[in-house]
Amino acid sequence: MDDNNERVTTSEAPDPVALQDRTRQALEDAAPMGDAGRLEVLENLYDELSHELERDVGENPSSRR
């Protein structure tokens, strides 16, 4: 764990409204596929966001908590 407790600045943080819109749209698109389709979409979105976070932290190690 990092002892310097630096936080991600607002300009570096993802836009929560954009993430919400992205999630909502993905779930709407998956609605015809039923619960299994929505679950798959959420798992894919989670994986995608995890990779983005890993990439962003890798580019700016001081943003780690």
CB atoms within 10 A of CB 64: 13
Q: Token digits for 41?
A: 């979409």
Is residue 45 assigned to a domain?
yes
Range(s) of the domain holding residue 58: 16-63
Question: What is the total count of domains within the chain?
Answer: 1
Is residue 49 assigned to a domain?
yes
Predicted TM-score (pTM) of the model is: 0.58
Dihedral over Cα of 46, 51, 54, 60: its sign: negative
Is residue 37 assigned to a domain?
yes
Q: What is the pLDDT of residues 5-60, one digit of tens each?
A: 555 555 566 788 988 998 899 899 999 999 999 999 999 999 998 998 888 887 66
Alpha helices in 1-65 (DSSP H): 16-30, 34-59
Is residue 8 assigned to a domain?
no
Rounded to whole angstroms, the Cα distance separating 65 from 57 reads 10
